[in-house]
Amino acid sequence: MIYLATSLFTDAEREFGFSLTEKIERLGYEVYYPWRDAGDEEIVERFGSNMDKVNDEIVRRNLEAIRKCEMLIAVAEGSDVESGTSMEIGFAHALGKKIRCLRTDFRTQGKRIGPVNIMISRSAEKFYSSVDELVDDLKRECTSSSLTIENIAHFYNTVANEYSNPNLHPTTALFKRTEEAYMKGIVCGKRFNVAMDVGCGDGNFLLYVESDKKIGLDLSLEMIKRHRSKLPTASYILGTCVSLLVGDSTVDVLHSSFLLDHLNDTERSLFFNEVNRVMNRRGIFLLATYSPEETLESRGSETSFEYVTSTGRKFNVPSDFKSLLNLREQLMNSFVVDSYDRVSTGQANLSIDCYVLKKK
Ligand SMILES: C[S@@+](CC[C@H](N)C(=O)[O-])C[C@H]1O[C@@H](n2cnc3c(N)ncnc32)[C@H](O)[C@@H]1O
């Protein structure tokens, strides 16, 4: 998480803070922007006009966020850097956090000192002289895969409460309904001992499959919490699909929908190895993905797509549809393809690919 330290006294400063936060979040990073994220309204509701308590709580939350952040980005403008921002830089420095400064201001404090107080310039590992320079640098850095996993979890944690709301996200709901109808047709009338849903999200498969034991695995704690509220009797694993954390040959039916586009090649083949490991001899693997050709046409061949939340927050969600183009061949290497169907959602150019797979 990145903590954005900036002066927040004027409309212009607050607007700039919002726009910078949005630009950084669009790269996939989680940002704590005190003006938005300290929860001032809720604090005021709690403590009313007791400004001492209100201010204590705001400071407590901001310092807590600095403790948690991986990096602090300070907007270090002005002939002297604003006092609150300077304090935040000092606190982060004492905690050994990475500090970077954005300074578009060309005023300096003279040849000897330079643009900002040396206590600040010596605490920061980098200075940027424009927003573009800062954003480009962060973009370059956010390509490492561990950060991508973090970003995906952060994204789903943030949107968990609205993800399946058909009024807010009708296309997601349409995909889910279509997939559910198809998979219900496959498992209808069958009873299993152990069913597992990988990338289970806030739930679909485990709610209708008939099974003595049900296990949901997901990267996002908030998604799991929502799933659990609908199905408290199931077991849940917070983890990644590259390590399924259940015993060999223990699962009769393993389901996974709309997960694969979030995985890179290595993760995908590790996932398939894990599926083969945990599925028993007669087990089935039910897999659904967005149809890649159509998705690529509508979303382009980028390695992320834009998701706008109900409150207008924008996320660039890591998602590689191009890599799904050769999925069928890849699946044939790891499994027996029992059936494959391209299923229309009923809306033009929106269909899904559904597979029933067995152990080789
Ligand atoms: C598009 S949602 C689909 C959720 C659910 N399967 C459905 O059809 O509604 C993708 C889900 O996969 C989870 N996920 C993404 N990457 C994952 C990974 N590497 N391991 C486990 N779960 C992952 C996300 O947290 C999210 O809940």
Note the pLDDT of residue 297: 79
Does ligand 1 lie within 6 Å of residue 219's CB atom? yes
Ligand 1 atom closest to the Cα of residue 155 is 25
Compute how many other C-beta atoms are within 10 angstroms of the C-beta atom of residue 92: 24
Spelled out in words, what is the top-level CATH class assigned to the domain 2-142?
Answer: alpha beta
pLDDT digits (tens, 9 = 90+) for 8-44: 999 999 999 999 999 998 777 889 999 999 988 888 8
- Nearest ligand 1 atom to the CA of 288 is 8
Handedness of CA 119, 125, 114, 104 (dihedral sign): negative
pLDDT at 220 over 60: yes
Domain span(s) for CATH 3.40.50.150 in the chain:
165-359
Query: 223 CB less than 6 Å from ligand 1?
Result: yes
Nearest alpha carbon, ligand 1 atom 9? 201
CA of 7 to the centre of ligand 1 (A): 38
Ligand 1 centre distance from Cα of residue 16 (Å): 33
Q: Is the CB of 262 under 6 A from ligand 1?
A: yes
Q: Does 199 contact ligand 1 (Cβ within 6 A)? A: yes
Under the banding of pLDDT at 50, 70 and 90, the label for residue 313 is: confident
State the Cα–Cα distance between residues 159 and 222, nearest whole angstrom.
9
| CA dihedral for 160, 135, 265, 182, sign (positive or negative) | positive
Q: What is the pLDDT of residue 303?
A: 73
Indicate if the pLDDT at residue 144 is higher than 60: no
For ligand 1, atom 26: residue with the closest CA: 201
Average pLDDT over residues 75-81: 94
* Residue 6 near residue 13, CB atoms below 8 Å: yes
Assess whether the C-beta atom of 218 lies below 6 angstroms from ligand 1. yes
Residues of the chain by 3-state class (helix, strand, coil), percent to 5:
45, 25, 30
Residue 254: closest CA among 238, 267, 273:
273
Single-letter code of the amino acid located at 49: S
- Determine the distance separating the centroid of ligand 1 and the alpha carbon of 169, expressed in angstroms: 16
Q: Are the beta carbons of 258 and 241 closer than 8 angstroms?
A: no
> Which among 161, 231, 259 is the best mutation to test ligand 1's pocket, defined by most ligand atoms within 8 Å of the CB?
259
Residues of the chain with CATH 3.40.50.450: 2-142
pLDDT at 293: 85
Strand order in the sheet with 279-290: 235-238, 211-218, 192-198, 251-257, 279-290, 350-359, 335-347
**What CATH number belongs to 165-359?**
3.40.50.150
